[in-house]
């Protein structure tokens, strides 16, 4: 997700248009170390690949906003790269040692 392997430097999360031009990027303050990404209903759920911290972004407009973040996995060995699953307002996340189901539906 950092695009470092593609020549980017400290870009963090990047949205590209169909021509490959960057529309926005989270920047150097939000690097996710190859964590999982899931997009649904104009929201992006992004898991930090080493810390187990889940970030929630509103991506409904060009001005992407970080809505919330929380440490949801212990990430004992720093390997939180498994895909996430979302169904019926429940988000399933896991690392090498634990599996959690989070209620992410709006009240």
pLDDT at 84: 96
pTM of the predicted model, to two decimals? 0.81
Q: How many CA atoms lie within 13 Å of 2's alpha carbon, on the beta-carbon side?
A: 14
Measured from the Cβ of residue 100, the count of other Cβ atoms closer than 10 Å reads 13
pLDDT along the chain (107 residues), means of 10: 55 79 73 84 91 91 86 86 94 93 84
Report the chain's terminal Cα–Cα distance, integer Å. 30
pLDDT at 53: 93
pLDDT at 1: 42
- The torsion angles phi and psi of 44, rounded to 5 degrees, stand at -120, 120
pLDDT at 29: 67
Domain ranges of the chain: 4-103
pLDDT at 2: 46
The hierarchical CATH code for the domain 4-103 is 2.40.128
Q: Judge contact between 41 and 89, C-beta under 8 A.
A: no
């Amino acid at each position: 997700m950092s695009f470092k392997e593609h020549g980017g430097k400290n870009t963090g999360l990047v949205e590209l248009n169909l021509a490959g031009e960057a529309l926005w990027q989270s920047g150097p303050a939000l690097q996710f170390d190859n964590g999982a990404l899931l997009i649904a209903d104009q929201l992006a759920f992004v898991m930090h690949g080493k810390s187990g911290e889940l970030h929630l972004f509103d991506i409904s407009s060009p001005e992407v906003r970080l809505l919330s973040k929380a440490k949801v996995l212990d990430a004992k060995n720093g390997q939180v790269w498994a895909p996430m699953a979302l169904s019926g307002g429940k988000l399933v996340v896991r690392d090498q040692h634990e599996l959690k189901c989070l209620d992410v539906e709006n009240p």
